[in-house]
Chain A
Amino acid sequence: MRAALVIAGKDLRQRLRDRSAIVIGLVAPIAIAALMSLAFRGAETFHYTLGVVDDDHGPLATALGGVLHEPGLRQVVTTQSLPSAAAARTAVRDKTVGAALVVPTGFSAAAAAGHPAALTVVTGADNATAGSVTASIASSFVAQLNADRLSVATALAAGAPGSEAARLQSLATTLRLPLTTVDRSVGATPLKAVSYYSPGMAIFFLLFMISFTSRSYFVDRSQGMIERIRAAPVRPHEIVLGKALSVFAYGIVSLGIIALVTTAAFGADWGDPLAAGALCVALVVAVVTLATLVMAVARTQRQAEGISAVLVFGLALLGGNFVFLSAAPPIMRNLALGTPNGWALRGFTDLATLGGGLRTVAVPIAAILSFSAVAGGLSALLATKAVRS
């Protein structure tokens, strides 16, 4: 055991002396997670300024103004009065407002007289969302006007006598749309981008350990280091254990520091510490077994570099470390669950949104450990075969 610890200590010292280990293990993941959270902050909180042109000055325009200031909409829309439709177009083009809504002259009077006019939504090509939200608000507003007119027309078409029209009309104005919506809470905290990308980037750079470790093994071998260690009373499995321990320690420390820094500096939510810790341990175990697998499969340093590079980027791409997987089509979300890093990200996502502790991450941890068991078993099998031959 002592020999294993000595080997682990030597590997760690060697790793830390090359500054790229610190860049890859700490600086890069934190910097990239910070950049991502900065960029996505705007996308998470959708808000726009709506230019409103009131050429009507009638009761309907006032009612529409009331709708725009309803509490639910307040965090999505801020209104700004604009003098004319032309000014609205200019403001949208100059991006001083996200979209504009024009209530034309005589809108209220025309609706009362039975010749309703159109509300105009001015949209810009760069803020399609603002345009569609404005259109939704406007069409929700005109729905009641139209419903009342359509009700009278349908009743008349269904056989109500024409002499009844006036009575039906006044009756219709008291109607309320029979189909309404009622807000229900999700019962979970929506996922923040930073809570996804912090573990995402930490895991991506952790995967690089597969390359470093397998590479260092072949460098050691080519320098005759392994033979020299074997000349001492050190058993082969202690060498393997030593290498594995150094990867393990480096991985846990790197994930731990990134978790602390991103939580403190950017408000990332890694969830319950115990559960997050267990998830990290499982993941580092998976990385260790993958590194041994590469060592067992590769014959030369070049091969080890090639195989691990493909493995690292393949896993990162499939597992969702680069793209916000939740936004991806279902097939890609399922593919991600074929990778240990994909399961880990699913675990961190659930910890940050659904909450809970070890129970929340039980399935992801089990999946990652089964993956590790397969990779570890396979490399043991290959290693024994190599020793025999």
Chain B
Amino acid sequence: MTVLAIARASLTRLVRDRTALFFLVVLPVLVIVLVGATVRGFSTWKVGVVDEGAGAAGQRLVAALDRSPDLAVDHYPTVRAMSTAIARGELNTGVVLPARMDEAERGGSRTSVGLVFEQANSSMQAAATAVAAVVRAEGVRVQAAQFATAQAGGTFATNLSQAARLEGRLPRAQVRTVAAQASSSILPEGFSYAAPTELVLFVFLSAVAGGAATVETRRLGIYERIVAAPVRPRDVIAGETLNYLVIALGQSLLIVAVGALAFGVSWGDPIAAALLLVCWSLVGAGAGMLAGTLFKTPEQASGIGPVVGITLGMLGGCMWPLAMVSPVMRQVGHATPQAWAVDAWTALLARGGTLATVLPDLAVLAGFAAVFLLLATHRLRHVLAG
């Protein structure tokens, strides 16, 4: 009973604090919206197009670029504007469609499409390779139409549509793509990426920053007053732990609900996901309690807490997939509980994993939670003993 009363008192204090509610409820949802809208495609190249008067030939090429699943095409008025966008990183490469491209094609001459990119930058080089492949594929039909017009007569336009028809029927050298493995170690793009990673980030971060409340309680001497009453120290500790756990679970469930209802995130195997939520909330509760006993002033907790949370989140793959970083950074990252939680969510969301798949991750998380909670209990006991 005492345990519940202590937990309830701490929770009531939190609910009355509108700033804390902003960080617990509003901020995570805002960040999910922002990241979900931003993280589109670790594998799509953004291509700018400037049409200097290329006519129908230019439009055909743009349509071909648009059809390519690896490219996202955007139009720019001038080469200068496009170059600025490339320099700023808004585009991976740019295409300049030359003036009178259509006349040149009809007249049987060669045309050069400008590719704007910096050769020293290899991602730009890779994007340019993808664009060049589309240009060459378009060139196949143009060559056939020009050849036919020169050798057999007829108009370029009819021969071009003839070539397009024949191309599908003719035996040709093709490029087949086979997947070596079907499962990915990167979360799906968009909101399915943002929601689980931000859950991992924010539950931990809010808990650590929420340690400020415990620091305040310590400073005000509330613990001493509680223990002066016939209350056992272990009930105080249990009550505080319960408080942190309820906050962490509540925040997790909110993010799960918002993700599922508003952004269509499918959270995978329900039992495994539920256990993962509980494990992660325990890690958060432990970290929050520990922060509450380690920091000296509430300002330290609310100032340094988020910094710690963000840094661990970055190391642990909440901000970008760990598959992207060097093996050393990946190993360093797995010193944080965040990395194991993100691994588990990746297994559930990207590979359709089950409880058996994520059991090792859950075990590691439970270990982290146990260590945090034990350390926090030890320190709080110290405080309670006066």
Q: Is the CB of B122 within 8 A of A36?
A: no
Tell me if A160 and B148 are in contact (CB < 8 A): yes
* Residues of B102-149 whose CB lies within 8 A of A: 105, 108-126, 128-133, 135-149
Interface centre among A36, A146, A350 (most CB of B within 10 A): A146
Residues of A within 8 A of B170 (CB): 146, 149-150, 153
Quick check: A185 and B118 within 8 Å, CB to CB?
yes
Which chain B residues lie closer than 8 Å to A171 at the CB level?
Answer: 147, 151
The one of B129, B136, B186, B297 in contact with A177, judged by C-beta atoms closer than 8 angstroms, is: B136
- The yes or no answer to B70 lying at the interface (CB within 8 A) is yes
The stretch of A23-31, A261-269, A363-371, A374-382 in contact with B is: A23-31
CB of B370 within 8 A of chain A? no
**Which of A154, A178, A191, A306 is B22 in contact with, Cβ under 8 Å?**
A306
Contact A114 B171 (CB under 8 A): yes
CB-based contact A178/B110 at 8 Å: yes
B269 close to A (CB within 8 Å): no
Q: In the complex, which of the residues A125, A157, A190 contacts B89, with contact meaning CB atoms closer than 8 Å?
A: A190
Task: Please determine whether A326 and B30 come into contact, CB atoms closer than 8 angstroms.
Answer: no
Q: Which of B238-246, B320-328, B376-384 contacts A (4 or more CB under 8 A)?
A: B320-328
Q: Looking across the interface, which residue of chain B has its beta carbon closest to that of A60?
A: B173
B residues sitting closer than 8 Å to A (CB atoms) are: 17-19, 22-23, 27, 30-31, 34-35, 37-38, 40, 42-43, 61, 70, 83-84, 86-90, 94, 96, 105, 108-126, 128-133, 135-149, 151-154, 158-159, 162-163, 166-167, 170-186, 297, 299-300, 303-304, 307, 310-311, 314-315, 319-320, 323-326, 329
Q: Taking the nearest CB of chain A, how far is it from the CB of B331, in angstroms?
A: 13
Which chain A residues lie closer than 8 Å to B300 at the CB level? Answer: 18-20
Bound Cα distance from A118 to B90, whole angstroms: 36
Contacts of B87 in A (CB 8 A): 186-191, 353-354
Distance of B196 from chain A, by nearest CB (Å): 17
- CB neighbours of B119 from chain A (8 A): 72, 75, 183
CB distance from B58 to the nearest CB of A (A): 11
For residue B135, which residues in chain A have a CB less than 8 angstroms away from its CB? 179-181
| Chain B positions within 8 Å of A131 at CB level | 177
- Please tell me if A123 contacts chain B, counting CB pairs below 8 Å: yes
Residues A132-186 near B (CB distance < 8 A): 132-133, 135-140, 142-160, 164, 168, 171-172, 175-186
Scan residues 112-139 of chain A and give those whose CB is less than 8 A from a CB of chain B: 114-126, 128-129, 131-133, 135-139
Nearest-CB distance from B138 to chain A (Å)?
Answer: 6
In the complex, are the beta carbons of B43 and A150 less than 8 A apart?
Answer: no
B325 touches A190 (CB 8 A): no
A154 to B179 CA separation, bound complex (whole angstroms):
35
Determine if A302 and B176 form an interchain contact, defined as CB atoms under 8 angstroms apart.
no
Q: C-beta contact mask, A56-76 vs B, less than 8 Å → 1, else 0?
A: 000000000000000011011
Q: Which of B86, B151, B154 has the most CB of A within 10 A?
A: B151
Among A24, A159, A186, A305, point to the contact of B86 (Cβ < 8 A): A186
Question: Would you call B140 and A177 a contact (CB within 8 A)?
Answer: yes
Q: Which residues of B contact A122 (CB under 8 A)?
A: 177-180
Interface size on A, residues (CB 8 A): 117
4 nearest CB pairs, A to B: A179-B139, A188-B87, A326-B89, A128-B43
Which listed residue (B88, B149, B307) contacts A350, Cβ 8 A? B88
Q: Are A43 and B324 closer than 8 Å at their CB atoms?
A: yes
Q: How far is the CA of A92 from the CA of B181 in the complex (A)?
A: 8
Q: Is the CB of B139 within 8 A of A178?
A: yes
- Tell me if B303 and A154 are in contact (CB < 8 A): no
A35 within 8 A of B: yes
Contact A75 B125 (CB under 8 A): yes
The reply to whether A36 and B185 form a contact with Cβ atoms under 8 Å apart is no
> Cβ of B123 and Cβ of A44 under 8 Å apart?
yes
Contact B143 A177 (CB under 8 A): yes
User: Does any Cβ of B come within 8 Å of A343's Cβ?
Assistant: no
Instruction: Give me 23 A-to-B residue pairs in the complex whose CB atoms sit less than 8 angstroms apart, sorted by A's number.
Output: A20-B297, A46-B126, A73-B129, A75-B120, A111-B173, A120-B178, A125-B182, A125-B185, A135-B177, A137-B133, A154-B144, A155-B147, A177-B139, A177-B140, A178-B111, A179-B113, A181-B114, A186-B86, A188-B84, A190-B89, A190-B124, A305-B19, A317-B34
Q: State A117–B118 Cα separation when bound (angstroms).
A: 35
A326 and B253 CA atoms in complex are apart in Å by 32
Q: Are A158 and B139 in contact (CB under 8 A)?
A: no
Set B88, B177, B324: member contacting A123, Cβ < 8 A: B177
Inter-chain contact A128/B42, CB cutoff 8 Å: yes
Q: Which residues of A contact B35 (CB under 8 A)?
A: 323
CB distance from B197 to the nearest CB of A (A): 12
A313–B27 contact, CB under 8 A? Answer: yes
Chain A contacts for B61, CB-based, 8 A:
179
A42 CB → nearest B CB, Å? 6
Whole-angstrom distance between the Cβ of A58 and the nearest chain B Cβ: 13
Beta-carbon nearest neighbor of B323 in chain A: A126
User: Are the C-beta atoms of A136 and B133 separated by less than 8 Å?
Assistant: yes
Output the least CB separation between A34 and chain B (Å). Answer: 10
If A123-B179, A124-B181, A177-B143 touch, whether A20 touches B326 (CB-CB below 8 Å) is: no
Q: Name A95-112 residues within 8 Å CB distance of B.
A: 100, 111
Cβ of A208 under 8 Å from chain B = yes
For residue A45, which residue of chain B has the nearest CB?
B122
A148: nearest residue on chain B (CB-CB)? Answer: B143
A156 to chain B, nearest CB (A): 8
CB proximity of A22 to chain B, nearest CB, Å: 11
Which residues of chain A are near B153, meaning CB under 8 Å?
Answer: 158-159
Q: Is the CB of B180 within 8 A of A89?
A: yes
A residues in contact with B315, CB < 8 Å: 35
> Measured between alpha carbons, how far is A265 from B295 in the docked complex, in Å?
30
Smallest CB–CB gap between B175 and chain A, Å?
4
Contact B22 A143 (CB under 8 A): no
In whole angstroms, what is the CA distance A152 to B163 when docked? 10
Minimum CB–CB distance from A306 to chain B (whole Å) comes to: 4
Pair B96/A132 contact, Cβ less than 8 Å: no
**Min CB gap A96→B, angstroms:** 11
Q: Are A118 and B118 also in contact (CB < 8 A) when A155-B147, A172-B147, A188-B83 are?
A: no
Contact B297 A18 (CB under 8 A): yes
| Cβ-neighbour of B178 out of A121, A175, A183, A329 (below 8 A) | A121
- Report yes or no: B175 in contact with A42, Cβ–Cβ below 8 A: no
**Contact indicator B162/A157 (Cβ below 8 Å):** yes
With a CB–CB cut-off of 8 A, which chain B residues contact A46? 122-123, 125-126
Contact of A353 among B88, B110, B174 (CB under 8 A): B88
Report chain A residues within 8 Å CB of B144: 147, 150-151, 153-155
Nearest-neighbour CB distance to chain B for A47, whole angstroms, equals 6
Interface check A38, CB cutoff 8 A: yes
Are A183 and B115 within 8 A (Cβ)?
yes
B327 to chain A, nearest CB (A): 10
Assess the B297–A191 pair: CB atoms within 8 A: no
A332 adjacent to B303 (CB under 8 Å): no
* B175:A119 contact, CB within 8 angstroms: yes
